[in-house]
Amino acid sequence: MNQTVFPEGYQSALNLHDTQIAIKTVKDFFQKHLAQNLNLERVSAPLFVLPESGLNDNLNGIERPVSFGIKEQDDKPAEVVHSLAKWKRFALDKYGFQVG
């Protein structure tokens, strides 16, 4: 079991709520400045895809993707994305990104 160890006499300067806000602030700061310095652009990826899209890899050929029916579309099947490799290549082309 992993156990967190604090130095003797350690007292946090923030309560749990403020610690969570501080962590988010640091993550946002890092993401923003890293993106600026490396000329990166954030693009959101899908959580689910339709099987016929071909964007979900076949894992190792043994496992099956988690799938479910979309109630609002007459239970049309959808799958939880388990690898974004194909989607990333698709998105680079769709959004017109160029090499370099």
Q: Is the pLDDT of residue 100 over 70?
A: no
Q: Are residues 49 and 34 in the same domain?
A: no
Average pLDDT (15-40) is: 95
For residue 61, pLDDT beyond 80: no
Whether 86 and 71 map to the same domain: the answer is yes
Say whether both 30 and 57 belong to one domain. Answer: no
- Tokens 């806000």 — which residue? 21
Range of the domain at 92: 44-100
Same-domain pairing of 18 and 53: no
Q: How far apart are CA 81 and CA 61, in angstroms?
A: 15
Indicate whether this model's pTM tops 0.75.
no
Average pLDDT over residues 8-13: 92
Is residue 7 situated within a structural domain? no
Q: How many domains does the chain have?
A: 2
pLDDT one-digit tens code per residue, 34-53: 999 998 888 888 999 998 88
- What's the chain's average pLDDT? 88
CA–CA dist 64, 61 (Å, integer): 8
Q: 37 and 50, same structural domain?
A: no
44 phi/psi in degrees, rounded to 5: -80, 140
60 and 100 part of one domain: yes
DSSP state of 52: G
State the Cα–Cα distance between residues 82 and 55, nearest whole angstrom: 10
Q: What is the structure's pLDDT at 1?
A: 67
C-alpha closest to that of 45 among 87, 97, 90:
87
Residue type, 14: L
Same domain, 55 and 80: yes
Cβ within 8 Å of residue 34, ≥6 positions away = 40
Task: Judge if 33 and 65 occupy the same domain.
Answer: no
Regarding whether 72 and 30 lie in a shared domain, the answer is no
